[in-house]
Amino acid sequence: MRQKFTWSQWRDRAVVSKSAFCHRLARGWSQEESALTPSKAQRTARRESPFRAIPKGKVRSFQAFAEDDAALEREIEASGLTIRDFLAQLVHEYLQPK
């Protein structure tokens, strides 16, 4: 059975960063802590992929925020959306077929 947590509950438990929380949200809230640990290939790809210039108004991908919580906070503030709306938009874009 899946259990949903709010960001404040995760923060209080000091379990994950905001970016990991976003990943968790998109994944469907699995409870295995191993789901938060990226594979070696994902870590390598993340290191090799620099931030790209994103046109204003576009939401960055989850990977762009993987190592920089401050970037996520700036992006939310720049978008002018509430955190809930921003996350909903981010999840919607993440789940779109490529």
| pLDDT per position as a tens digit, 60-82 | 555 555 556 777 777 777 878 78
CB 58 within 8 A of CB 65: no
DSSP code at position 34: G
Q: Read off the pTM.
A: 0.28
Q: Any alpha helices (H) in the chain, and if so which ranges?
A: 7-13, 18-27, 40-48, 69-79, 83-95
Least confident among 12-21, 25-34, 89-98: 25-34
> Side chain identity at 65, as an amino acid letter?
F
